[in-house]
Amino acid sequence: MTRSPGFPIDFPTLLQATADIPGSPAIDDYGVPLAAIHRHGANMLNQDVYWGAHLKAAAVLDTLLRHPWLEHSQADAAWAATRAVLTINGLSVAQDVKGSEVLALMRDIAGPGVPLRHIARALRAWTSEGASDGASEGAADADADTGADTGAEGTADGAGDGTADG
């Protein structure tokens, strides 16, 4: 089976994916979602830097979660945008994924950070081909618990490391 390089999402799609976040948080920093769009769609020497849907989704989750950009509910928005990347690429989050698993990954990302390939691996384990997404939609309900709105900075290593993704 040939693996797809994955399709990136655009800015309007990201905004649409996050539009239903409870409390309708205002965007405080448009640079962060724009950075997420450009990061996961990055291309160098005519090759995708993040190859495959899971690695692209991991780049979006990492960027949106680690850098403050909303007045609140940053983790919910980051997860919604991540699911949008997966959905556009024909993947859905499995119904049996526990919110606690998603929150644990988000805490790791927002705290010490994790390599992008680790995030992609978790997303790969939680997804399958199909359109029945909806599992763990509210998995990120506790921004304060993830530390996502604390402005934790840093970069995840493993970006562009040639990790095959599908």
Per-residue model confidence as pLDDT tens for the chain (166 residues): 445 778 889 999 999 999 999 999 999 999 999 999 999 999 999 999 999 999 999 999 999 999 999 999 999 999 999 999 999 999 999 999 999 999 999 999 999 889 999 999 999 999 998 755 454 455 444 444 444 443 333 333 333 333 344 4
Q: Domain count of the chain?
A: 1
Question: Minimal CA–CA distance to 54: which of 112, 107, 105, 100?
Answer: 105
- Which CATH number does the domain housing residue 78 bear? 1.20.120.1870
User: Is residue 151 domain-resident?
Assistant: no
pLDDT 10s digits, 133-164 = 454 455 444 444 444 443 333 333 333 333 34
User: Is residue 64 domain-resident?
Assistant: yes
User: Is residue 90 domain-resident?
Assistant: yes
Single pTM value for the model: 0.79
User: Is residue 153 domain-resident?
Assistant: no
User: Is residue 129 domain-resident?
Assistant: yes
State the chain's mean pLDDT as an integer: 82
User: Is residue 5 domain-resident?
Assistant: no
- Which DSSP string corresponds to 17-80? HTTT-TT-PPBS-THHHHHHHHHHT-EETTEESS-SHHHHHHHHHHHHHHS--BSS-HHHHHHH
User: Is residue 108 domain-resident?
Assistant: yes
Determine the structural domain holding residue 87 and report its residue range. Answer: 11-146
User: Is residue 154 domain-resident?
Assistant: no
Phi and psi torsions of 39, nearest 5°: -65, -50
